[in-house]
A and B are shown apart, each in its own frame.
Chain A
Amino acid sequence: MTGIRNWVVENHDLAFAILLAVIVYGYFGLTNEYFATHRTTFAIMERFAVLGLVGLALTLCIIAGEIDLSIGSNAALAAVIAVRFTDGLGAVTAILIAVSIATAIGIIQGYFIAYLRVRAIVLTVGTLMLLRGVALFAAQEKTVMLTDFRVPDFITTKFFGYFSPASILVIAMFVLVGLFMNYTRYGREIYAIGGARKEALAAGVDLKRPMIIVFAISGFCAGLGGVIIGLRSGTAQALGLQYLLLAGTVAAFIGGVSILGGKGGVVGAAIGTLTVNFLNTGLVFNVTPAFMVQLYLGVLLMIVIMFQTGSRIFDRKQRRRQILGDVDARRGPLLARRTAAARRAPP
C-alpha cells in the first residue's frame, strides 16, 4: 500500500493522467451501453494507431523544449504520396517512399533548427505552409484516391480481437521509443536539452544530435500516421489532417509533459492519447457533431494549461516563502546574539 502511495507521489502527473483516462472511460461506459464493448475497443485501438503516433511525436518534441507545428502538413504530404503511388508501385514501395520522405523532412528541420539556433515554432510554422504547398503540388490539387482496396482491407484486419496490423505496429513503435528514451544516452540527451538546455550545452551535449533525432522521430511518426490514415480510408487530401496538431498536443499535455521541457514520457503519451480517443469515440457515440469535439479538446487543453501554470505559480510562491522563512529563522538568533554582545560590552 505504501508502495502505491509512494509511486503516486513520485509520478503525480502520470497518476493524474490515469485518473482522467479512467474517469472519461467510466463516464462513457456508464452512459452508453455500446461503449464498453469489444468492437468499440477495436475502434479505439484503430484511432490510437494514428493519434498515438502524433501524440508520441509531439511528446518527444515538447520534452526537448520545442514544438513541431508542421506535423499535420507532413502527415498530409505522406498520405498523398502513399495513396498516389500505391496503385503504380505497390503498397510496400509507396509506404517506404512516403515514410522516408517524411523522415528526411524531419531530419532537415532538426538540422536547421540546431544549425540556425532558431526556435522550432519559428521554423516549423514556415515548413507548415511549405509542405502544404508541396502536398498540393503532389496531389495536383485534387483528392487522390485508391482504386485497389486490398490494402485498406489488409490494414483493418483484426488480430486477437482488438488489434490491427496498424495498431500493432504503433504499439511496437511506442515500446521501442520508450526503451530508447529511457535507456540510451541519446534519449537522455533529449531530456537534457529540454529541461536545462544551457547546462546541457555547457556539459558538452551537441545540440545537433538530439535535435535531429527528435525531429527525425517526429517526421517518421507523422509520415507513418499519414500513411495509415491515407491507406485505411483510400483517399488523401493535401489540405487535410490539420486537426492532428490540436489532438496530439492535448494528448501530450494530458500525458504529463511540461511546456518548459524535460518532463513526461512515452507511457504518459500513450495514456494521454487513449484519453483523447475515449473522448473522441464517446462523443461520436453520443451523436455529437464533429465541431463539438474540437470545442471539448480546446477546453481540455485550456484546463490542463491553467492547471500547469497555476501549479508553477504556486511552486514559485512556496519557494519564495521558504527562502524568506529561512532568512527569518537565521536572522532571529543572529540579532539576539548581537544585541546580547552589545549589552555585555558597553562602548
Chain B
Amino acid sequence: MTGGMIGGARDAATGYVDRLVRDYSALVVCLIALFLIVFIAGMVTAPNFLTLFNFKTIIRDAALVGIMAVGLTFVTLSGNFFLLSMKETAALCIICFATSMSAGYGFEISFLLTMLIALVAGAAQGALIGLGGNPIVVTLGAAGLLFGLGSWWSDNLVVSFRRPHGAEWLGTGSFLGLPNITIAFILIAVSAELVLRYTKFGRQVYLIGANRAAGRATGHENFPMAIKVCMIASVCSAFVAIAFSAQVSSAHVNYFSSEFGSSGDMTIMVIATVMVGGNSIMGGFGSTLRSSLGAIFISTVDNMMVLHGFNSGPRVLAVGLMIVFSIIVFALVRRGARAQE
C-alpha cells in the first residue's frame, strides 16, 4: 500500500518533470534548476540564515508588502491589471492617520477616518476603470493626485505623534512571540484566500478575470466588480499605512517612496510580489496564497543577500530579474498550453 503510493508519487514526479521539459522547453527548466542551485547554496552559506529568529524576521519584512499584495491580487485576478497608485494611497492614508492621531482623536476614530479615505479613493478609481478607462492610465493620474493631496495636507513635513498612543499594539506589540503585524498578515492572507475560494464574490472575481465577455453575458458586469476590488486594494494599502505609522509614530508622504525598505518603491515592489507569486497578470488565474508566498520568497532572497553583504543595487537588480524571469516563464508556459490544445 505504502510502497505503491510512493511508487505512484515517483511516477507522478518523473512524469511531471517530463511534461515540464516537453512543454516549456529545456531552457526554462535549466533556468529554474540554476536558480534553485544558487538559492540553496546561498541559503546554506549565509551566516545566521537558518535560525528561528531570522525566519521570523523574514516573515515580518514580508508582512507590509504582503498585505498590499494580497489586496492588489483581487484587482489582478479580476482582469484589471494593477493599480499604480498603491503607494500614493498609502501616502495619503498615513498622513491622514498621523494628523488625526496627533490631533488627539484616538486610535479608533483615526482608523475609521483613514479607512474612509481609502474607500473613497478606491471607489473613485474603480468607477473610472469600470466605465472603461485603462487601469494603468487612470491609476497613474490618481497616483499624482493622491500624492499631491497628501503633500499638500502635510505641507510636505513629517507629522509625528507622542509615544504612548493607542496604536502601539499594532505597530510594535507582539502576541505569543510573533509581532502583531505578522499575525495581521497571516490573518488577512488566510481570510482573503477563503473569500476567493468559497464565497460567491470570490468566484465572480475569477469569472470576470478569466473571461469578461462571458461574465457580461451572464450578468456579471465589470463596473461593480472594479469598484469592489479597487476598494479592497485601497483598504489594504491603508492598513499598511496605519501599521507603519503606528510603528514609527510619525508620517511623511515619502515613507513609501524609494527610501522605503531596500528595493525601490513600494508600488513596484507590490506588483513584483504579485507577479513573482505566479499570478496571471491578464486575470482569472492565481490566488492570494501565491501572492503571500511571493512576498515571503522575495523577502527571503532579500534577506539572504543582506546577510551576504550586498548593497541595494544588486538587491533591486535581483528583484527585477525575478519579475522578468517570472513573466518570461509564464508567457512560455501559456504558449505551451496553447500549442497543446
Contact between A298 and B324, CB atoms less than 8 A apart: no
Contact between A132 and B320, CB atoms less than 8 A apart: yes
Contact between A130 and B320, CB atoms less than 8 A apart: yes
Contact between A137 and B313, CB atoms less than 8 A apart: yes
Contact between A292 and B140, CB atoms less than 8 A apart: no
Bound-state CA distance A205–B324 (Å) is: 27
A320 touches B (CB below 8 Å): no
Point out the residues of chain B lying under 8 angstroms from A341, CB to CB.
Answer: none
Contact between A116 and B258, CB atoms less than 8 A apart: no
Contact between A302 and B319, CB atoms less than 8 A apart: no
Bound-state CA distance A302–B265 (Å) is: 23
B106 touches A (CB below 8 Å): no
B138 touches A (CB below 8 Å): yes
A147 touches B (CB below 8 Å): no
1/0 contact string of A105-126 vs chain B (CB within 8 Å): 0000000100011110111011
Selecting from B57-65, B147-155, B289-297, the interface stretch reads: B147-155
Point out the residues of chain A lying under 8 angstroms from B311, CB to CB.
Answer: 136, 141
Point out the residues of chain B lying under 8 angstroms from A139, CB to CB.
Answer: 313
Contact between A125 and B132, CB atoms less than 8 A apart: no
Q: Pick from A118, A134, A301: contact of B331, CB below 8 A.
A: A118
Looking at chain B, what size class is its interface with the partner chain? 35 or more
Point out the residues of chain B lying under 8 angstroms from A134, CB to CB.
Answer: 317, 320
Q: Pick from A125, A141, A302: contact of B313, CB below 8 A.
A: A141
B261 touches A (CB below 8 Å): no
Contact between A133 and B137, CB atoms less than 8 A apart: no
Point out the residues of chain A lying under 8 angstroms from B128, CB to CB.
Answer: 302, 305-306, 309
Contact between B144 and A294, CB atoms less than 8 A apart: yes
Closest approach, in angstroms, between the C-beta of B123 and any C-beta of chain A? 14
Point out the residues of chain B lying under 8 angstroms from A305, CB to CB.
Answer: 128, 133-134, 137-138, 141
Contact between A136 and B148, CB atoms less than 8 A apart: no
Contact between B131 and A313, CB atoms less than 8 A apart: yes
Bound-state CA distance A242–B320 (Å) is: 16
Known contacts A116-B327, A122-B281, A302-B138; A133 and B145 CB within 8 A of each other: no
Closest approach, in angstroms, between the C-beta of B145 and any C-beta of chain A? 3
Q: Which of B138-191 contact A (CB under 8 A)?
A: 138, 140-149, 151-152, 156
B241 touches A (CB below 8 Å): no
A296 touches B (CB below 8 Å): yes
Bound-state CA distance A117–B330 (Å) is: 11
Closest-by-CB residue of A relative to B316 is A133
Q: Pick from A116, A141, A245: contact of B332, CB below 8 A.
A: A116
B264 touches A (CB below 8 Å): yes
Selecting from B8-16, B231-239, B267-275, the interface stretch reads: B267-275
Closest approach, in angstroms, between the C-beta of A168 and any C-beta of chain B? 31
Bound-state CA distance A234–B275 (Å) is: 37
Q: Pick from A125, A250, A292: contact of B152, CB below 8 A.
A: A292
Contact between A239 and B140, CB atoms less than 8 A apart: no
Count of A interface residues, CB-CB < 8 Å: 52
Closest-by-CB residue of B relative to A260 is B134
1/0 contact string of A60-75 vs chain B (CB within 8 Å): 0000000101000000
Bound-state CA distance A121–B80 (Å) is: 12
- A121, A131, A306: most-surrounded residue (chain B CB, <10 A): A121
A9 touches B (CB below 8 Å): no
Contact between B131 and A137, CB atoms less than 8 A apart: no
Closest-by-CB residue of B relative to A62 is B137
Closest-by-CB residue of A relative to B332 is A116
Q: Which of A128-178 contact B (CB under 8 A)?
A: 128-134, 136-137, 139-141
Contact between B327 and A129, CB atoms less than 8 A apart: no
Contact between A301 and B132, CB atoms less than 8 A apart: no
A289 touches B (CB below 8 Å): yes
A227 touches B (CB below 8 Å): no
- B133, B137, B151, B253: most-surrounded residue (chain A CB, <10 A): B137
Closest approach, in angstroms, between the C-beta of B305 and any C-beta of chain A? 12
B111 touches A (CB below 8 Å): no
Closest-by-CB residue of B relative to A312 is B132
Closest-by-CB residue of A relative to B317 is A133
Bound-state CA distance A238–B275 (Å) is: 24
Point out the residues of chain A lying under 8 angstroms from B137, CB to CB.
Answer: 67, 249, 253, 259, 301, 305
Q: Pick from A133, A295, A299, A300: contact of B319, CB below 8 A.
A: A133
Contact between A309 and B133, CB atoms less than 8 A apart: yes
A200 touches B (CB below 8 Å): no
Contact between A302 and B148, CB atoms less than 8 A apart: no
Point out the residues of chain B lying under 8 angstroms from A24, CB to CB.
Answer: none
Bound-state CA distance A308–B199 (Å) is: 35
Contact between B271 and A125, CB atoms less than 8 A apart: yes
Contact between A128 and B268, CB atoms less than 8 A apart: yes
A86 touches B (CB below 8 Å): no
Q: Pick from A67, A131, A302: contact of B142, CB below 8 A.
A: A302
Point out the residues of chain B lying under 8 angstroms from A126, CB to CB.
Answer: 272, 275, 320, 323-324, 327
B74 touches A (CB below 8 Å): no
B33 touches A (CB below 8 Å): no
A127 touches B (CB below 8 Å): yes
A20 touches B (CB below 8 Å): no
B321 touches A (CB below 8 Å): yes
Chosen A-B contacts, 18 in total, with CB atoms closer than 8 Å, are A67-B136, A119-B281, A122-B275, A123-B324, A125-B272, A126-B323, A133-B319, A239-B258, A239-B264, A249-B137, A249-B140, A259-B134, A289-B151, A291-B147, A291-B148, A292-B151, A294-B144, A298-B141
Task: Add 14 more A-B contacts to A122-B275, A298-B144 (CB < 8 A).
Answer: A119-B281, A121-B136, A121-B281, A125-B82, A129-B319, A133-B317, A137-B317, A242-B265, A259-B134, A294-B144, A298-B145, A298-B147, A305-B137, A306-B133
Closest 5 pairs (CB-CB, A-B): A295-B148, A298-B144, A130-B320, A133-B317, A301-B141
